[in-house]
Amino acid sequence: MSTHYDIVVIGGGHAGAEAAWAGANLGAHVALVTIDAEAIGRMSCNPAIGGLGKGQMVREVDALGGLMGLVIDATGIQFRTLNQSKGPAVWAPRAQADGTHYTAELKRRLDNHSNIEIIEGCVADILTGDETTGGATMPMARGVRLEDGRVFPARAVVITAGTFMRGLMHCGTTQTVGGRVGEPAAVALSHCLLGLGFRLERLKTGTPPRVHRDTVDFDLLEEQPGDTNPAAFSFMNDRVEQSQVCCWITYTNAKTHELIRANLGVAPLYTGQIQSVGPRYCPSIEDKVVRFADKPRHQLFLEPEGRDSERIYCNGIATSLPADVQRDMLKNIVGLANARILQPGYAIEYDFIPTDQTWASLESKRVRGLFVAGQVNGTSGYEEAAGQGLLAGVNAARMLDAKPPVVLTRDQAYIGVMIDDLITRPPTEPYRMFTSRAEYRLHLRSDNADQRLTPLGRELGLVDDTRWGRHVRKMEDIHHVRSLCEQQAYDGRRLSEWIRRPEARLEDLRNILGTAAVGFGDEVLLQVLIEAKYSGYLARQQRQIERFRNLEAQEIPANVDYAAINELRIEAREKFSAVNPRTLGQAGRISGISPADITTLWIYLTARRELRKLKIEN
């Protein structure tokens, strides 16, 4: 390929992979620059995909033609749907991955794309040139320069550097510069961004120890098997074919907690060695013991890092305590008395770009054509990164074609909820997606992500003929089953009414339809069942969505001078100026903004429109 590209993607993690894939599928020639090509998609933390809120996003990425769902279906070793005892709004697919095979499969797919070239190296500088638009001059991304001096011109750049920007790892008093174990940090990239006028801040995350499989006493542990009939992540797959492995459950205890409390004096989180904010929803074991002092134990999940891997991931005890303390800590836990640590847990601090410097398109406000996605936006998790990466790649490619950016809304996708949250409430801790963040979560289910997003993906050019044909057939099947339920009587009423009963199950619907259901997959029947059972709630939520859309339809001009609106509080002027909301709805979601502020802004905008109308008429 040519050394001149349309898009350069910096970083080969989950955000970078999806950004490169999406941009390439829209016809852009993409260079994916990564420190180690064999580490593309490497899972620095738990080799697992999905979970609450996260599994929904993976299905959305897949519905839009992304990679993550396809790769985990091919390389997963245990699949489970979480929260099955609750309503469908919170059903969440999750899979344990074979980490080595996941990385290899992701790289294979990227390697085989004719529009993607993978380049090994570390970016030292983002090249820019001035561009004048509408009388205003601002920097425009023009490519990158690597630390070894190579230059790759491009028309757009996407930063997906994860935890690598000035990454610093902590294990007791030992500090190691790096983006993850065995890999260097991207120090020059941080300095480059500072030179371009960006404000950088620091966040922290952590990981637990890994122990050798042969030193774990599994006979003492509680087994956690996968689902009997595991569901696939990708809408392109009807089922998961490979056999599943088991995970295990154990618990900390009073002795574990006593040991941790006795060693807080050498814990980087409590000595002042670490000063950055970590994830509140995924705390270290030190934090758990201190913050929840009344809890006698904490649950741990022991999860294989691969089908044949010797490494067991100790999920639930992320820590930065010294390695010798970690060894003593494990000795007190059932099943781990003889465990040999292969890799101690550690914490890592890294730079991120606060998102008040970013548009909802994920293009930066300071440099035109420079997009940011993933942990550099203050998020945590592979799934959050993948969703952002896909949108950043799409919008970088659309910018090259002078097309308007794609911005998913809160009623459209969990990805839209996440990006709107980031833009209106820039994170002060690593952002993690939960179903509770989505006010329309009954509408944003994992089972209907294709209905919500595949038509959009087709319109954008992300969905190929094979996926589209499969989607159309599924929609036809759903329509046919709905018709059957309307026509068929059961127990003295129409079947469509009977299946609204709380006790109605998927097996009931299939059995009642009998031969008429032959040929229809569980996913089709489940869609019909959910829509019928929750029709009243869905109708109510649809009315809420319409009200939301009315607010979102009230656009705010880009050139509003908030500092000149004297009726607004000073804090409101500052926040509106920083975020520059595109609609009244988005303005109302900015942290610290009150209903009175929105009313004041609405009055100002109404008067401004009336004044403009008078000028036009005169």
259, two tokens = 């040991």
Beta-bridged to residue 8, according to DSSP, are: 31, 157
Same domain, 298 and 219: yes
- 110 pLDDT higher than 50: yes
Q: Are 316 and 343 in contact (CB under 8 A)?
A: no
Which of these, 342, 324, 329, 346, lies nearest to 278 by C-alpha position?
346
pLDDT above 90 for 252: yes
Taken as a whole, the chain contains a residue count of 618
What pLDDT is attached to residue 59?
98
What tens digit of pLDDT does each residue of 554-609 get? Answer: 899 988 999 999 999 999 999 999 899 999 999 999 988 988 899 899 889 888 87
d(CA 29, CA 156): 11
With a cut of 60, say whether residue 263 has pLDDT above it: yes
The alpha carbon of residue 185 and the mean position of all alpha carbons in its chain are separated, in whole angstroms, by 22
For residue 77, what are its two tokens?
A: 């070793």
Q: Which amino acid, residue 136?
A: A
CATH of the domain at 24: 3.50.50.60
- Both structure tokens of 476: 């036809």
CATH label of the domain that carries residue 473: 1.10.10.1800
* Whether the model pTM is above 0.85: yes
Residues 559 and 527 in one domain: no
Q: Tell me, yes or no, whether 139 and 227 share the same domain.
A: no
Q: Structural domain tally of the chain?
A: 4
246, 157: one domain: no
> Based on the domain organization, do 530 and 585 belong to the same domain?
no
pLDDT at 1: 46
Q: Is residue 112 in some structural domain? A: yes
Of 538, 567, 587, which residue sits at a domain end?
Answer: 538
User: Residue 370's closest CA among 392, 398, 401, 403?
Assistant: 392
pLDDT above 80 for 611? no
Residue 290's CATH number: 2.40.30.260
Question: Could you identify the residue written with the tokens 């044909």?
Answer: 469
- The span from the CA of 297 to the CA of 300, in Å, is 10
Q: Give the three-state DSSP class for 399.
A: helix
**Statement to judge: residues 421 and 492 lie in one domain:** no
Give 301's strand partners: 249, 315
Collapsed DSSP state (helix, strand, coil) of residue 237:
coil
Inform me whether the pLDDT recorded for 615 exceeds 70. Answer: no
**DSSP bridge pairs for 136:** 133
Same domain, 63 and 83: yes
The terminus-to-terminus CA distance of the chain in angstroms comes to 58
Percentage of the chain modeled with pLDDT above 70? 99
**Cα 538 to Cα 535: distance, rounded to the nearest angstrom:** 5
Angle between helices 54-63 and 449-460 (to 10 degrees): 40
Contact 169, 175 (CB under 8 A): yes
- Determine the Cα–Cα distance for residues 314 and 241; give it in Å rounded to an integer: 27
Do 396 and 371 touch, CB atoms closer than 8 A? yes
- Give yes or no for a contact between 73 and 234, defined as CB atoms under 8 angstroms apart: yes
- Reply yes or no on whether the pLDDT at 232 is more than 90: yes
Cα 271 to Cα 153: distance, rounded to the nearest angstrom: 45
With a CB cutoff of 8 Å and minimum separation 6, the contacts of 399 are 156, 363, 369, 405
pLDDT digits (tens, 9 = 90+) for 524-550: 999 999 999 999 999 999 998 998 888
Residues 439 and 490 in one domain: no
In Å, what is the CA distance from 115 to each residue of 32, 465, 466, 495? 11, 19, 20, 51
Residue 616's pLDDT is 65
- Among 89, 111, 143, residue whose Cα is nearest residue 24: 111
Same domain for 332 and 214, yes or no, is yes
358 φ, ψ to 5°?
A: -135, 140
Domain annotation covers residue 196: yes
Query: What residues make up the domain containing 502?
Result: 464-538
Percent of the chain with pLDDT over 90: 87
396 vs 133: CA distance, rounded Å: 18
